[in-house]
Amino acid sequence: MTSEIWTEKYRPTNFEGFVGQEEIVKRIKNLVSSLNIPHLLFAGPAGTGKSTLALIVVKQLFQDSWRENYLELNASDERGIDVVRQKVKDFARTKSLGTVPFKVIFLDEADALTREAQQALRRTMENYTTTCRFLLSCNYSSKIIDPIQSRCAVFRFKLLEKKDINKVIKRIAETEKLEVDEKAASTIYEASEGDCRRVINLMQSTASISPRITKELVETIVSSAKPSDIKVVLDYALAGDYVNAKEKLLDIMLKESLSGQDMLKAIQKEVWGLDIDPELKVRLTEKVGEVEFRMVEGSDEFVQLQALLASFMLAGQGKL
Amino acid sequence: MSFAEKYKPKSLKEIKGQELAAAKLKEFVESFPNKRKACILYGPSGCGKTASVYAFANEKDAEIMELNASDFRDRKIISEVVGGASNQKSLFKKTKIILIDEVDGISGFYDKGGLLELVRIIDLSCFPIVMTANHIWDKKFSDLRRLGELIEFKELNSNVVFSLLKEITRKENLNFNDDLLKNIAIKSRGDVRAALNDLQTIDSSTKDLSERDKEENIFNVLKQVLKNRPAENMLELYEKLDMSLDEVYLWLEENLPREYKGEELARAIDLLSRADVFRGRIIRQQHWRFLIYQNFFLSYGVSASKKQAKTGFTSYKRPDRVLKIWMINQKNLVKKEIAKKFARYCHISFRRAMQEFDFMKNVLKNLDIQQKLGLEEKEKEYLKNI
């Protein structure tokens, strides 16, 4: 059953198999059939089909020789714009094979680039525009500078709707011979927040335990993805026991090999679920937000987490 | 003699932690001039670049002709020296290796045309040219990058540095405890040279290390800050310590809860966190006045967090957080490696893969999938245990 990762196994390879984004698929199909596509910008949340659609476009354009004419880069994984440009240069140097006169470069998470890096990217796009088409992908189009947006046809991807997600669930359940009842499907949809990749990963994870996927099973998997015992840390802190809260915090980070940011995310979710005075909840969340801000700015994770525990301690005593 | 000198590796086998790079270097020199004429060893300071070249030369009985960034490398010198050297075969030894250390130290003014000349020389050279550098991705080096094979030397893992230190303390008959060596290894951040120098400075003050001297001071300072009400002299206390301010954070973190409770504890820790924010900003904004605020919060501020002075004896403890965090990071390294492979396979970014990791725990335990991802033994071990 599980000798392949399902997100790859069930990734559609043609327009017909694509779920959701009907308008976009129509427009893209037309562009591809005219064999002349401009630079493209795919904007939208994670798991809505941007990379998949890019791969379909490329396969339709180049058929069997798609691997030679396609370069996939991820802006947040590469070490800076110079490395990206070097790779683009090396790739763009050779001509395209086949009837299509250009090659395609897919740059994922383009919004991870700074403004300066994007300016540099724009120049690269201009330099190689005759031999290469750029396909940019991002979560927030507002983070892409105007000069790049104006050079691209922009497509805004939406979160998948329940009907789309149900389609995906059904397709997989049929092939993998799983039993997914309606309540389970609803739970999967809620947990996924419209992210198709999350849906498929959840399904594969639950299926690895049992082919009968129930609401309870899904909930177990979802909660096991959260670090255990965070609540214990907060309980200690709110009760004024700083020392134990700190020990437990470090203990959990060690056991589950979590980073400070991971811990913070988990704490923030826990805070929202606490049964406390709304005003207090707001103040605690403010503190959490401030700590996250500082962490992102480059402060020491552990010092800041401890400060957070200390303010929880004050909150518990009504002194925050 | 410095430890760095005394324990210089004498063969490539002795270079720890850079096996792949060392193999590539060997391949480059031995296959000269069939493939490329020059190679560039690049990576952070103190991770073994120059040491590898010397080690290899020693092993092959080759002569090294070295040029440093501090040499005045203008047109004349290069064409005389490098051009001349390249064309002479050595009388006594079999091969010659031209080593240009720290090639990214070439500054525009002193070396007018030096870089261009070097590029030409590489073309004409009869001997392999090895360059070392810290940063090679600057625009002005794009020509060099084309002419040389790039060999990456990665930042050394603290484990590697630690085992090196342990070996040397054994050979030198020094009695240092593991915790101290681990701390030196971690602080060095992969720079073996720095770690060895640190080790040696501790050695020249006392043979049998006890941190007691340092600790006595920090214990006294802690006592003053934590027990007494704020006083003017507090602002100078940390300066007199033979300890960086960064270490002071750890000591305060560990011992504040032993002295303060409740509101005063929260207030003091809040100040600690504010000082930490300033600490981070000094580096980013190069605004060194922030040190003043850091020092103030950590001394006067912490002291003022309590309403009354404290009496009695409190037992303070040495911080062990660094080690614990280091352990967390070590565990994280394996998780990150797995996530990287997963990311590559699924066309997603590393960051995204880390986010999906927990949801995919069960799936990743499957042996077929581990095979598809190409996981190593320790990665499989890690997955077994979560």
pLDDT for B211 equals 47
User: Given phi > 0 = left and psi -120 to 50 = alpha, else beta, which region is A240?
Assistant: left
Q: How confident is the model at residue B54 (pLDDT cuts 50, 70, 90)?
A: very high
Q: How confident is the model at residue B79 (pLDDT cuts 50, 70, 90)?
A: low
Q: Which two tokens stand for residue B304?
A: 């003022």
pLDDT for A172 equals 94
* Domain shared by B96 and B176, yes or no: no
The whole-angstrom distance between A76's CA and the closest CA on chain B is 7
Residue-wise pLDDT tens digits, A248-279? 998 888 777 777 888 898 898 889 888 888 88
Tell me chain B's radius of gyration from C-alpha atoms: 26
In a domain, B317, yes or no: no
* Domain shared by B48 and B145, yes or no: yes
Residue A310 has pLDDT above 50, yes or no: yes
Q: How confident is the model at residue B207 (pLDDT cuts 50, 70, 90)?
A: very low
DSSP state of B103: G
User: Given phi > 0 = left and psi -120 to 50 = alpha, else beta, which region is A175?
Assistant: alpha
Q: Is B41 helix (H, G, I), strand (E, B) or coil?
A: strand
DSSP for B184-240 reads: HHHHHTT-HHHHHHHHHHHHHH-SS--THHHHHHHHHHHHHHHHSPP-TTHHHHHHH
Q: How confident is the model at residue B187 (pLDDT cuts 50, 70, 90)?
A: confident
Q: Which two tokens stand for residue A269?
A: 């979710």
Residue-wise pLDDT tens digits, A50-89? 999 999 999 998 888 888 889 988 887 776 778 888 888 8
This complex has an ipTM of 0.78
User: Given phi > 0 = left and psi -120 to 50 = alpha, else beta, which region is A177?
Assistant: left
Q: Return the higher-pLDDT residue of B175 and A106.
A: A106
Decide if B257 touches A, using CB distance below 8 A.
Answer: yes
Q: Return the residue of B nearest to A55 by Cα.
A: B347
* Domain shared by B134 and B191, yes or no: no
Q: Return the higher-pLDDT residue of B120 and A57.
A: A57
Q: Which amino acid is at B232?
A: E
In a domain, B163, yes or no: yes
* Domain shared by B251 and B287, yes or no: yes
Which percentage of chain A shows pLDDT scores above 70? 98
* Domain shared by B31 and B122, yes or no: yes
Residue B361 has pLDDT above 80, yes or no: yes
pLDDT for B73 equals 52
Residue A231 has pLDDT above 90, yes or no: no
- In DSSP terms, which residues pair with B185 in a beta bridge? none
In a domain, B315, yes or no: no
Of B249, B278, B304, the residue at which a domain comes to its end is B304
List of domains in chain A: 21-156 (3.40.50.300), 162-224 (1.10.8.60), 230-316 (1.20.272.10)
pLDDT for B115 equals 67
* Domain shared by B119 and B201, yes or no: no
Which residues on chain B are in Cβ contact (under 8 Å) with A3? 366, 368-369, 372
Domain that includes residue B193, residue range: 158-205
Mean pLDDT score of chain A, rounded to an integer?
A: 88
In a domain, B316, yes or no: no
In a domain, B312, yes or no: no
* Domain shared by B137 and B177, yes or no: no
- Report whether A311 contacts A287 (CB < 8 A): yes
The whole-angstrom distance between B116's CA and the closest CA on chain A is 21
Q: Return the residue of B nearest to A291 by Cα.
A: B273
* Domain shared by B220 and B339, yes or no: no
In a domain, B235, yes or no: yes
Residue B180 has pLDDT above 80, yes or no: yes
Least confident of B76-85, B212-221, B281-290: B76-85
Mean pLDDT of A180-205: 91
The whole-angstrom distance between A311's CA and the closest CA on chain B is 6
pLDDT for B221 equals 92
Mean pLDDT score of chain B, rounded to an integer?
A: 81
In a domain, B21, yes or no: yes
Mean pLDDT of B207-220: 59
Please count the structural domains in chain B. Answer: 4
C-alpha B103/C-alpha A312 separation (Å) is 53
- A72, A77, A259: residue with CB nearest B332: A259
Query: Residue B97: what are its φ and ψ, rounded to 5°?
Result: -125, 125
pLDDT for A252 equals 84
pLDDT for B188 equals 81
- B137, B263, B321: residue with CB nearest A314: B263
- Report whether B75 contacts B110 (CB < 8 A): no
Which residues on chain A are in Cβ contact (under 8 Å) with B369? 2-5
Residue B214 has pLDDT above 80, yes or no: no
Q: How confident is the model at residue B288 (pLDDT cuts 50, 70, 90)?
A: confident
In a domain, B334, yes or no: yes
* Domain shared by B222 and B137, yes or no: no
Residue B210 has pLDDT above 50, yes or no: no
Q: Return the residue of B nearest to A311 by Cα.
A: B266
DSSP state of B90: P
pTM listed for this prediction = 0.58
Of B238, B273, B304, the residue at which a domain comes to its end is B304
What are the contacts of B378-385 at 24+ separation with CB within 8 A? B378/B334, B379/B334, B379/B337, B379/B338, B379/B341, B382/B331, B382/B334, B382/B335, B382/B338, B383/B338
DSSP for A92-161 reads: HTSPPPSSSS-EEEEEETGGGS-HHHHHHHHHHHHHTTTTEEEEEEES-GGGS-HHHHHTEEEEE--PPP
* Domain shared by B26 and B146, yes or no: yes
C-alpha A277/C-alpha A287 separation (Å) is 16
Q: CATH code at B91?
A: 3.40.50.300
Q: Tally Cβ neighbours within 10 Å of residue B170.
A: 9
Residue B92 has pLDDT above 60, yes or no: no
Mean pLDDT of B211-234: 80
The answer to whether the peptide bond before residue A38 is cis (omega within 30 degrees of 0) is no
Decide if A76 and B350 are in contact by the 8 Å CB cutoff.
Answer: yes
- B280, B349, B362: residue with CB nearest A297: B280
Mean pLDDT of B60-64: 87
Decide if B359 and A225 are in contact by the 8 Å CB cutoff.
Answer: yes
Decide if B253 and A303 are in contact by the 8 Å CB cutoff.
Answer: yes
C-alpha A47/C-alpha A160 separation (Å) is 9
pLDDT for B176 equals 81
Residue B22 has pLDDT above 50, yes or no: yes
Residues 36-55 of B with CB under 8 A from A: none
* Domain shared by B109 and B92, yes or no: yes
Residue B72 has pLDDT above 50, yes or no: no
Of B304, B330, B361, the residue at which a domain comes to its end is B304
Decide if B277 and A299 are in contact by the 8 Å CB cutoff.
Answer: yes
Residue B70 has pLDDT above 60, yes or no: no
Residue B208 has pLDDT above 70, yes or no: no
Which residues on chain A are in Cβ contact (under 8 Å) with B363? 2, 5, 201, 204-205, 208
Residues ≥6 apart with Cβ < 8 Å to A113: A75, A81, A121
* Domain shared by B170 and B262, yes or no: no
Which percentage of chain A shows pLDDT scores above 90? 40
Residue B83 has pLDDT above 60, yes or no: no
Which residues on chain A are in Cβ contact (under 8 Å) with B351? 76
Least confident of B143-157, B248-262, B291-305: B143-157
